[in-house]
Amino acid sequence: MKKITTATLRKMKQDGDKISTITAYDASFAKIFDQAGIHAILIGDSLGMVLQGQEDTLPVNIEHMVYHTQCVNRGVTKTLIISDMPFMSYATKEQAYSNAAKLMQAGASMVKLEGGEWLVDTIKGLVERGIPVCAHLGLTPQSVNVFGGFKVQGREKSQADEMIAHARLLEEAGAQLLVLECIPSKLGKAISEAVSIPTIGIGAGKETDGQILVMHDALGISCSYMPKFSRNFLIDTGDIKKAVELYISEVSNGNFPGNEHIFN
């Protein structure tokens, strides 16, 4: 398989091929996922919860993200690497440019930012400076205190309409990928149809252009609880590489997520 790029993912959307994505934080797991054929790896600020034992992602800083991006990059040969911009690392455009450059120099091929319309100018500036951007709408974990907890977003029509509008604005600004988290399945479908860039869902239904899972959930090793939108693929295989291959296959053939994993 050739090196996967943002152009690869865009063509997959155009061809109707599903994209499979997973988080990773070190070289060993990244190498297994790469060999299994995963399309993209996200070095998520979820590392605050699954590696550091924090209650949320807010304590993660840019130095943590740079370190784990370097680790993942050493294990990957084909997979597209996306790195999260952590909490308050892109509050201003200047901060965003400086911190995104650190992640790209560490080995990322794309950076991910959480938020809607307020990020338009920042995304334009990043893209103009040669930094590909993945946007993130829905339940944005860095805003957990604003939401009052980890709650499904977009159930009200006004909120859903606003999210669709924001998705279009983010695409116009230059975002090349869009993560949709914890939203009703119908809204995931509507946003995916409203934009030409690929959408990657996590608790956003099966009609997004792809799926992403936190590796600890996909392998059944989360120390807290299993989210509704996740599935333990390791229990079906007993082998990590085979578990990821099963995940890719189940996403590709439309078996995952199932009805039990989606929000109505």
Pair type for strands 199-202 and 210-213: parallel
Proportion of the chain above pLDDT 90, given as a percent:
91
Domain annotation covers residue 244: yes
Q: What angle do CA 235, 239, 243 make, to 5 degrees?
A: 65
Give which of 193, 220, 208, 218 is closest to 254, Cα–Cα. 208
Q: Which of 171, 181, 245, 250 is catalytic?
A: 181
For residue 1, pLDDT over 70 is answered with no
> What's the number of domains the chain is made of?
1
**Binding site listing for Mg(2+):** 45, 84, 114
How sure is the predictor about 63, in pLDDT bands with cuts at 50, 70 and 90? very high
Respond yes or no: is residue 55 known to be catalytic: no
Domain annotation covers residue 36: yes
**Mean pLDDT, rounded, for 79-89:** 98
Domain annotation covers residue 1: no
Domain that holds residue 132: 6-261
Q: Which CATH number belongs to the domain containing residue 237 in this structure?
A: 3.20.20.60
Domain annotation covers residue 222: yes
If 0-12 CB within 10 Å is exposed, 13-18 middle and 19+ buried, where does residue 223 land?
A: exposed
CA distance 127 to 132: 6
Residues 136-167 have pLDDT tens digits of 999 998 887 777 766 889 999 999 999 999 99
Residues 234-245 have pLDDT tens digits of 999 999 999 999
pTM for the full model?
Answer: 0.96
Domain annotation covers residue 102: yes
